[in-house]
Amino acid sequence: MREQTQASLNKHIQEWQQHNFGMWAVIYKETGTMIGRCGLGFLENTKEVELGYVFDKSYWNMGLATEASLATLKFGFWEVKLDRIVAMPTAGYAYAHPENIASVRVIQKVGMKYEKNASYYGHDVVYYAISRTEWQADDSLYILHS
């Protein structure tokens, strides 16, 4: 609905203004089409910062979620200077259950480690995290400009 979309956009804009992070639109280079979003946000009712992403299903299994997640971690640790980032892998708009192997694999590929099963957003989820000291940057993706 229009009101829900506007509220979501306002929330994302406010996060960028207050915390210097939030969600980015993910654009498929070959076509210029917006195919999803990826970025950082606060985990529900906590002060923890969460890596999140959602992609159009027709762009799954192309490595795009992994690439966007790596770029987001780099931004979070290098630019925002976060000490820790958590994730509850997602598939589409539903939060992943442990059996959602593809989404969990993305989080594992970017170096995040399983910590526990948890309940967030009204769903049972698998909870992963990584600290800045544990993270290994791969400079081949892009270079940050000061």
Q: How many residues does the chain have?
A: 146
Query: Torsions phi, psi of 92, nearest 5?
Result: 65, -135
The C-alpha atoms of residue 49 and residue 12 are separated, in whole angstroms, by: 14
The verdict on pTM exceeding 0.85 is no
Considering the chain, what percentage of its residues have pLDDT values greater than 70? 85
Residue 137 has a pLDDT of 64
Report how far apart, in Å, the C-alpha atoms of 106 and of each of 7, 20, 70, 115 are. Answer: 29, 24, 10, 16
Rg of the Cα trace of the chain? 15
**SS3 assignment, position 40:** strand
Q: How far apart are CA 37 and CA 24, in angstroms?
A: 5
- Report pLDDT digits (tens) over 1-46: 888 888 878 887 888 888 889 999 999 999 999 999 999 998 878 8
What letters, b where the CB count within 10 A reaches 16 and e where it falls short, cover 90-128? bbeeebbeeebeebbebbeebbbeeeeeeebeeeebbbb
Per the model's pLDDT, the better-predicted residue between 86 and 121 turns out to be: 86
Q: CB–CB of 79/20 below 8 Å? A: yes
For 2-131, which CATH class?
Answer: alpha beta
How sure is the predictor about 117, in pLDDT bands with cuts at 50, 70 and 90? confident
> How far apart (Å, rounded) are the C-alpha atoms in residues 72 and 102?
19
